[in-house]
């Protein structure tokens, strides 16, 4: 291939990529969606550190390595995001994006820098591109998603404490059940998020095991035996991320199981968020013909035709995000199934959907925290009314008068519209038993 086609010997111009990138742009006009920016930036960082390592190992001229490293850092810092135009739906190994990075860094580095011989030294698309994807996911989860999840957990814990003594009707199957406290419900939500954090965190050690050093098939052909360890150590030291050697280079090269595992943990968290958001929307329904047990923050007008209507917009957003994350996980799972022999060839698909899920869940967690949970208020008048109205409190009579007799009292109360207490007294249950059994707070905390 002629040097002018790669443009690696040319002076800097507005366009820094070369011929292989141009071919990929022409070959893959699929979605108009580029490779995720975090992957691009991590490609730059990995190649910067790789140049330094190759220089230290005596394989690359020191001055040239410095120029390549500086170019890689410039890409890592986002100064050349616009130089990565290739569609995310491309060759399944990410080769086109790796070549794109090689060309851009070579052109920035200047005279004498060759995209393959120097920028890509000791690397293959088959190990460097999935490594960049793993590192991008690890970075985004660590610095964006987990803090957002922690903030939401704290907000829910605060509400659990604030609502600790507010008794309300429990509900199962959307039907009346024995009383609980609003604080107990919010404590459950906080625990869901806390478990979500633990699930996500438990995957990160494996996500941080990058295949760099395996080159084409996992054997490490054409790379110095100390190269990968040097690069991993420097990346870990520079970023503070947990980056390590894979358990087995052929497992790391041929599969993207760690990314599928992370996506699974994200899906579970999305399911949890969906439950929480759905409950908040239901408890906030009304204000006069719904449950109206919570007052959600009023953020915007809810209708273009009905004056004064306010909708649970944040829970609705969160529920939609949850659906998208579940869909992303399905795509990631299919991508993970497409490893053949020494290589998975659906890495861009996995990267696109995984990083999308991470971003969406981080944003949704912050929104739910800052624009919904933190501003929630309990409507104690309605929670008390519902707790007192539910006929499920007859459950507490079972130990005193038996299930069948309690069921008869419930049936009569439901048909006549009278209270349990009134019907029970009429049927001979003593006032003392009723006073003890029908204490809503005691029912919500029977073991206190």
Does 303 participate in catalysis according to the annotation? yes
Q: What span, in angstroms and rounded, lies between the C-alpha atoms of 2 and 418?
A: 92
Q: Which residues of 284-309 are buried (b: 16+ CB within 10 A; e: fewer)?
A: beeeeeebbbbbbbeeeeeeeeeeee
Identify the active-site residue in 31, 202, 242, 303.
303
- Residue 70 structure tokens: 């500086």
Identify the active-site residue in 173, 304, 386, 419.
173
Does 419 participate in catalysis according to the annotation? no
Q: What is the dihedral of CA 57, 60, 64, 67, to 10 degrees?
A: -50
Ramachandran area for residue 245 (φ above 0: left; ψ -120 to 50: alpha; else beta): beta
Q: What span, in angstroms and rounded, lies between the C-alpha atoms of 88 and 352?
A: 7
Written in H, E and C, the secondary structure of the chain is CCHHHHCCCCCCCCCCCCHHHHHHHHHCCCCCCECCHHHHHHHHHHHHHHHHHHHHCCCCCHHHHHHHHHHHHHHHCCCCHHHCCCECCCCCCCHHHHHHHHHHHHHHHCCCCCHHHHHCCCCCHHHHHHHHHHHHHHHHHHHHHHHHHHHHHHHHHHHHHHCCCCEEEEEECCEEEEEEEHHHHHHHHHHHHHHHHHHHHHHHHHHCECCCCCCCCCCCCCCCCCHHHHHHHHHHHHHCCCCECCCCHHHHHHCCHHHHHHHHHHHHHHHHHHHHHHHHHHHCCCCCCCCCCEECCCCCCCCCCCCCCCCCHHHHHHHHHHHHHHHHHHHHHHHHCCEECCEECCHHHHHHHHHHHHHHHHHHHHHHHHHCHHHCEECHHHHHHHHHHCHHHHHHHHHHHCHHHHHHHHHHHHHHCCCHHHHHHHCCCCHHHHHHHCCHHHHHCCCC
- Active site members: 173, 303
């Amino acid at each position: 291939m002629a040097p002018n086609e790669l443009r690696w010997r040319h002076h800097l111009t507005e366009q820094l990529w070369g011929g292989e990138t141009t071919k990929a742009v022409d070959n893959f006009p699929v979605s108009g969606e580029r490779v995720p920016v975090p992957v691009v930036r991590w490609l730059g960082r990995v190649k910067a550190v790789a140049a330094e390592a190759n220089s230290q190992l005596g394989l690359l001229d020191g001055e040239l390595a410095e120029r390549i490293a500086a170019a890689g850092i410039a890409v890592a810092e986002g100064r050349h995001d616009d130089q990565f135009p290739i569609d995310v739906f491309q060759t399944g190994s990410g080769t086109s994006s790796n070549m794109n990075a090689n060309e851009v860094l070579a052109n920035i580095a200047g005279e004498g820098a060759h995209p393959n011989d120097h920028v890509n030294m000791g690397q293959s698309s088959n190990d460097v591109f999935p490594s960049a994807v793993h590192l991008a996911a690890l970075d985004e989860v660590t610095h964006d998603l987990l803090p957002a999840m922690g903030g939401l957990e704290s907000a829910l814990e605060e509400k659990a404490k604030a609502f600790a003594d507010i008794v309300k009707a429990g509900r199962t199957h959307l039907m009346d059940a024995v009383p609980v406290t609003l604080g107990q419900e919010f404590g459950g939500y906080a625990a869901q998020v806390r478990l979500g954090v633990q699930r996500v965190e438990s995957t990160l050690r494996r996500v941080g095991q990058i295949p760099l050093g395996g080159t084409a098939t996992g054997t490490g052909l054409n790379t110095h035996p100390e190269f990968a360890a040097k690069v991993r150590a420097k990346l870990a030291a520079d970023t503070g991320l947990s980056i390590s050697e894979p358990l087995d280079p052929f497992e790391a090269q041929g599969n993207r199981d760690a990314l599928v595992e992370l996506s699974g943990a994200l899906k579970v968290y999305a399911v949890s968020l969906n439950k929480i958001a759905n409950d908040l929307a239901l408890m906030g329904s009304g204000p006069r013909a719904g449950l109206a047990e919570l007052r959600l923050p009023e953020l915007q007008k809810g209708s273009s035709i009905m004056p004064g209507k306010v909708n649970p917009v944040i829970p609705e957003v969160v529920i939609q995000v949850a659906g998208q994350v579940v869909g992303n996980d399905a795509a990631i799972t299919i991508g993970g199934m497409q490893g053949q022999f020494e290589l998975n060839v659906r890495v861009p698909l996995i990267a696109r959907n995984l990083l999308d899920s991470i971003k969406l869940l981080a944003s949704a967690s912050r929104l739910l925290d800052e624009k919904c949970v933190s501003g929630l208020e309990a409507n104690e008048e309605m929670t008390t009314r519902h707790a007192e109205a539910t006929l499920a409190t007859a459950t507490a009579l079972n130990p005193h008068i038996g299930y069948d007799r309690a069921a008869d009292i419930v049936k009569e109360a439901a048909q006549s519209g009278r209270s349990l207490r009134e019907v029970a007294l009429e049927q001979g249950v003593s006032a003392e038993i009723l006073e003890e059994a029908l204490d809503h707070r005691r029912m919500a905390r029977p073991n206190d």
